[in-house]
Structure 1
Amino acid sequence: MEYRQIRPEDAREYVEMMRSLDLETDMMMLEPGERKNDPEAAAAMIRESLAAGDFFLIAREGETMAGVLTAERGRYRRIRHAAYVVVGIRAGYRGRGIGTEMFKRLDAWAVSQEITRLELTVRKENKAAVHLYEKSGFVIEGLRKNSMRVGGVYADEYYMAKFIPQNEGA
């Protein structure tokens, strides 16, 4: 498995992977058909994200983009130390350690960027993801009741965070 920062030229493949994720699972935010299918817009979003200093990692196996992990850091000084995380791994690649490896790389980036707080939301029913996040050091901070409506039914989300110690002696 190859792990690297996304590039604007990956936009078409990124859009396709995200559309595929939307079809494979109902655990992502967007439903099938809601996501824009515009590689040019995706390339612009990628350029903006990288220029802002965000973390935008992809996992590839051969010609296939298997997963993505992004961390958007706070844009204002008071929240610049925090980043909001989104992760998605294609169904055929889950359970192979890809998420674990991406979170290890996220931790290294967070230390290098003086990020001390990582946060994310996850559907309460998504036991595999909750396990991955807890294994990666995240803790549940709260429950967001009825935060989503999936298939006509309300779903709860956990709000989770991880605190990244900084090397004060450096």
Structure 2
Amino acid sequence: MDIIIHPVTENQAEALWQLMYALDFETKYMMYEPGERSKDIERVKDVIHEAVYGDNLLLIAENKGELIGYLSAERGKCKRIHHSAYIVVGIRTAYQNYGIGSKFFVELDNWAKKNQITRLELTVMCQNEVAKHLYEKRGFVIEGVKKQSIIIDDEYIDEYYMSKLF
């Protein structure tokens, strides 16, 4: 496999949307249900613009030109939370367990330190042991449990609040 991780580029909006749409069908661990995500390419372009020219980070993983994963970090906009960033990660099922997640988090740590971010935060469904293990391996700790946070298949799911401080 020839996996390359790099910041998203402006011409990748359609491919990024396709990746996110595909992830919605592959896993129940993402926010959107299959088919729920609207095809709003302008919104995706705005997200990319904020990463390329603004304060956010958006990394993608590619294999032979195909987008196979992403990590986004949205920095707090207000002064009081500008030191923090909220993280979302998605990796196509066929490409999990190849170290992509770990590579994403190394790049994330470098970006956070370079940009004076002292708090990274995320939520993860409590039953998602694989993701929880990755986050703990990368220095995240559980801060609490968000009870009945999400409904999947008519069942309430709890999430962990996790953070990493620098």
1:168 matched to which residue of 2?
none
Match of 2:101 in 1: 99
TM-score between the two structures when normalised by the length of structure 2: 0.95
Partner of 1:26: 28
| CA RMSD between the two structures | 1.0
Q: Which runs of 5+ in 2 are unaligned?
A: none
CA contact (8 A) 1:8 1:44 kept: no
How far apart, CA to CA, are the structure 2 residues paired with 1:80 and 1:38?
Answer: 27
User: Where does residue 58 of structure 2 map in the other structure?
Assistant: 56
TM-score by length of structure 1 reads 0.93
State the SS of the aligned residue for 1:120: strand
Shift of 1:66: 1.1
What is aligned with 1:141?
Answer: 143
Question: Quick one: which of 25, 38, 41 aligns to 2:40?
Answer: 38
- The count of corresponding residues between Structure 1 and Structure 2 is 164
Q: Counterpart in 2 of 1:151?
A: 153
SS at match of 1:96: coil
Partner of 1:7: 9
CA contact (8 A) 2:140 2:163 kept: yes
* Other-structure match for 1:167: none
> Within 2, Cα distance between the matches of 1:50 and 1:75?
16
Question: Are residues 36 and 49 of structure 1, via their aligned partners in 2, closer, same or farther at CA, if it must alter by over 3 Å?
Answer: farther
Q: In structure 2, give the amino acid aligned to 1:13.
A: A
Contact 2:10 2:52 (C-alpha < 8 Å) held by counterparts: no
Which consecutive residues of structure 1, in runs of 5 or more, have no partner in the other structure? 165-170
Query: For residue 38 of structure 1, what is the amino acid of its counterpart?
Result: D
Residue-by-residue CA offset, 1:29-78 (whole Å, 9 max, x unaligned): 11112212132331122113433310110011112111100110110111
Q: In the TM superposition, what whole-angstrom CA distance separates every residue of 1:93-138 from its partner, at most 9, and x where no partner exists?
A: 0000000000000000000000000000000000000000000100
After superposition, what is the alpha-carbon deviation per residue over 1:14-40, rounded to whole angstroms, capped at 9, x for unaligned? Answer: 000000000000110111122121323
Q: State the partner residue of 1:68.
A: 70
Contact 2:123 2:161 in 1 (8 A): yes
State the distance in 2 between where 1:114 and 1:48 align.
17
CA distance in 1, matches of 2:54, 2:38: 22
